[in-house]
Chains A and B, each alone.
Chain A
Amino acid sequence: MADKIATREAYGNALAEFGSLYPDVVVLDADLAAATKTCIFKNKFPDRFFDCGIAENNMVGVAAGLATTGKIPFVSTFAMFAAGRSFEQVRNSVGYPHLNVKIAATHAGITVGEDGATHQCNEDLALMRTIPGMTVINPSDAIEARAAVEAAIKYEGPVYMRFGRYPVSIINDTPDYKFEIGKAIKMADGSDVTIVATGMMVEQALIARELLMADGISAAVVNMHTIKPIDKDMLIAQAQQTGAIVTSEEHNIIGGLGAAVAETLSEICPVPVVRHGVEDVFGKSAPAKELIEYYSLNAQGIVEKCKKAVSLKNYGFAAN
């Protein structure tokens, strides 16, 4: 496996790469260019980079105005401020007029680490998903982050992209890898349960699959890189094939991927859906590696949920 790289780093590199191809791309940041990695674009295209200072709400509005004139603005800051603080600006100035603004939020989830709960956004997928017409993407590695940036540029309409600070393994370096908005990727087959994971949890889902084999449980793994529009066809097929679903996300179990999957399946193909993620609590200060263990945002955490899902499927109940 290649060296680990944070998706924010891949985002910054992709912006700089595609900036040459797409002259309408402009980038806005709120005093975090060094952290969001938009500084890579800034160094290459200083005339198309605009620091908005620590004023995120105005930044989103400026992006909306730029989009009305045909620009393709990328707006970057931490997920907490892009999706949280500026929720209403994103909803009313970008979502309602369906403007071609790309919100590229970094430092999502608890792997922000030492900065602690005020900066660990576990709510952004939930918030962005409720805006009509908003596309929500959560890449699983650097390859997917790059692909998502290009897809977002080519797509006409508002997109929210979620990038992490924590370096993650490359898992999509396969010759047939293809990123398409709204099309989930089957990473591995299985017959007893399907792990539908997003972002950095996809890698953990693959490890969990190996661990489950030892227990005689065969788990399929799906990379749900697009939270909205969610890939219904994939979900239905997997629900029918394995009869149980575990969702896994570095996000509150309320409102994000788990909710999207449960909402979808309960109306079309009801099977047990067990959600793995941050269990409706705020984060804490600590190195990201320790937080991952503390909140069980790892393969072992997924394994436990898979056992629960299989039990629900087979016996109709499960010990908590």
Chain B
Amino acid sequence: MDSDKILELKKKAADIRMGIIDEVYNAKSGHPGGALSSADIMACLYFSELRIDPRTPKNPDRDRFVLSKGHSCPALYAALALKGYFDIEELKKFRHLGSFMQGHPDMKTANGVDMSSGSLGQGISAACGMALSAKIDKKDYRTYALLGDGESEEGQVWEATMFAAHYKLDNLCLIIDNNGLQIDGRVKDVMNVMPYPSKFKAFGWHVISIDGHNIEEILAAFDEAKTVKGKPTVIIAKTIKGKGVSFMEDRAEWHGKAPNDEQYKIAMSELKEYRRSLDKE
């Protein structure tokens, strides 16, 4: 695989992570943990996989992305800003009165957001609708949705899973940000919805399991998904909640909490140091 491209995507992921910390710090609230765990996936989506153009955000033939785990929107906003949908300085207004960057994504106001989401389990259904529409109109755009671990406990997720397989939505690619944590603790302790592979296989899906922080594996999984015909694909991406900020990693308490001044400085210095190390590669 193209090593320059992989390095570039690593840099984008690092930039997204810095954006996340900036947003949550300036808002004094928000969800850093699950945003950080999805940063590498988001970088691959927005800077490699999605057929989109910020100059034509409503192009009917564009690929769609639904952030079903809507609370991870700091990652989405950072990706959109870096992609050119709006000024990066806007990120500081996340969750502020009058900002288009609502606490959970609002498609009416935020440029580049394909679906309002945040109430868990609902985004995946909307993604099914988008994929179904492409089938009806014989369009070749693809629909992607990012789902959370804890979110998968919602019954509606499995209604949608059943639906996507029934209507053979092979133009739908679901990614599970499998960081293993939810608000009350470890997913396996709170309500064990895992294992995913056997469940999705039983529902008739094509299943790919990867390391969700490995750019090459993420890109390869997207490529494989496009070759699958007659069934939807789920990419189960094993990730670490809070990835990239040492004191947030694998800690459920950082699901929905903003860093204080001291923590912000440490987090940003860690991320900047990593980002500089990439420049030297």
Q: Which positions in A face B, CB cutoff 8 Å?
A: 26, 47-48, 50, 52-53, 55, 57-71, 73, 88-89, 92-93, 96-98
Contact A68 B129 (CB under 8 A): yes
B146 touches A (CB below 8 Å)? no
CB-defined A-B contacts under 8 Å, sample of 14: A48-B136, A53-B159, A53-B162, A57-B159, A58-B159, A58-B162, A61-B126, A61-B156, A64-B122, A65-B130, A65-B131, A71-B136, A92-B119, A92-B122
Q: Which residue of B lies closest to A62 (CB)?
A: B129
B108 touches A (CB below 8 Å)? yes
* Alpha-carbon separation in the docked complex, A53 to B60 (Å): 28
The smallest beta-carbon distance between A65 and chain B, in angstroms, is 2
The smallest beta-carbon distance between A68 and chain B, in angstroms, is 6
Within 8 A of A (CB), among B112-145: 114-116, 118-119, 121-134, 136-137
Chain B residues with CB under 8 A of A59? 125
B247 touches A (CB below 8 Å)? no
- From A71, A89, A93, name the one whose CB has the most chain B CB atoms within 10 angstroms: A93
Chain A residues with CB under 8 A of B130? 65-66, 68-69
Chain A residues with CB under 8 A of B216? none
A57-B122, A61-B126, A68-B64 provided; 15 other pairs, C-beta below 8 A? A50-B132, A55-B163, A57-B156, A58-B128, A62-B128, A62-B129, A64-B115, A64-B122, A65-B126, A65-B133, A69-B130, A70-B133, A93-B122, A93-B125, A93-B126
* Alpha-carbon separation in the docked complex, A188 to B38 (Å): 63
Contact B132 A92 (CB under 8 A): no
* Alpha-carbon separation in the docked complex, A98 to B64 (Å): 18
Contact A69 B128 (CB under 8 A): no
Chain A residues with CB under 8 A of B156? 55, 57-58, 61, 89
B106 touches A (CB below 8 Å)? yes
How many residues of chain B have a CB within 8 Å of chain A?
35
The listed residue (A47, A57, A64) touching B155 by CB distance below 8 A is A57
Contact A96 B116 (CB under 8 A): yes
Given known contacts A48-B136, A71-B133, A97-B116, is B159 in contact with A65 (CB within 8 Å)? no
Closest 8 CB pairs of A and B: A65-B129, A61-B125, A58-B159, A65-B126, A55-B159, A69-B133, A62-B129, A97-B116
Q: Which residue of B lies closest to A65 (CB)?
A: B129
- From A61, A62, A70, name the one whose CB has the most chain B CB atoms within 10 angstroms: A61
Contact A65 B163 (CB under 8 A): no
The smallest beta-carbon distance between B249 and chain A, in angstroms, is 31
Contact B116 A65 (CB under 8 A): no
The A interface, classified by DSSP as helix, strand, loop or mixed, is: helix
Chain B residues with CB under 8 A of A52? 163
* Alpha-carbon separation in the docked complex, A96 to B107 (Å): 9
* Alpha-carbon separation in the docked complex, A183 to B88 (Å): 47
B167 touches A (CB below 8 Å)? yes
The listed residue (A50, A53, A97) touching B115 by CB distance below 8 A is A97
Contact B136 A47 (CB under 8 A): yes
Contact B125 A64 (CB under 8 A): yes
Contact A66 B162 (CB under 8 A): no
The listed residue (A48, A58, A69) touching B163 by CB distance below 8 A is A58
* Alpha-carbon separation in the docked complex, A63 to B66 (Å): 14
Q: Which residue of A lies closest to B123 (CB)?
A: A61
Contact B129 A55 (CB under 8 A): no
Chain A residues with CB under 8 A of B129? 61-69, 73
Chain B residues with CB under 8 A of A26? 136
B20 touches A (CB below 8 Å)? no
Given known contacts A48-B136, A64-B115, is B162 in contact with A97 (CB within 8 Å)? no
Contact B133 A61 (CB under 8 A): no
The smallest beta-carbon distance between B87 and chain A, in angstroms, is 24
* Alpha-carbon separation in the docked complex, A233 to B137 (Å): 44
Chain B residues with CB under 8 A of A63? 129
Chain A residues with CB under 8 A of B132? 50, 62, 65-66
Contact with A along B154-168 (1 / 0, CB 8 A): 011001101100110
Chain B residues with CB under 8 A of A68? 64, 107, 114-115, 126, 129-130
Contact B116 A62 (CB under 8 A): no
Chain A residues with CB under 8 A of B127? 65
The smallest beta-carbon distance between B204 and chain A, in angstroms, is 14
Contact A97 B125 (CB under 8 A): no
Given known contacts A50-B167, A92-B116, is B160 in contact with A58 (CB within 8 Å)? yes
Contact B163 A62 (CB under 8 A): yes
The smallest beta-carbon distance between A49 and chain B, in angstroms, is 11
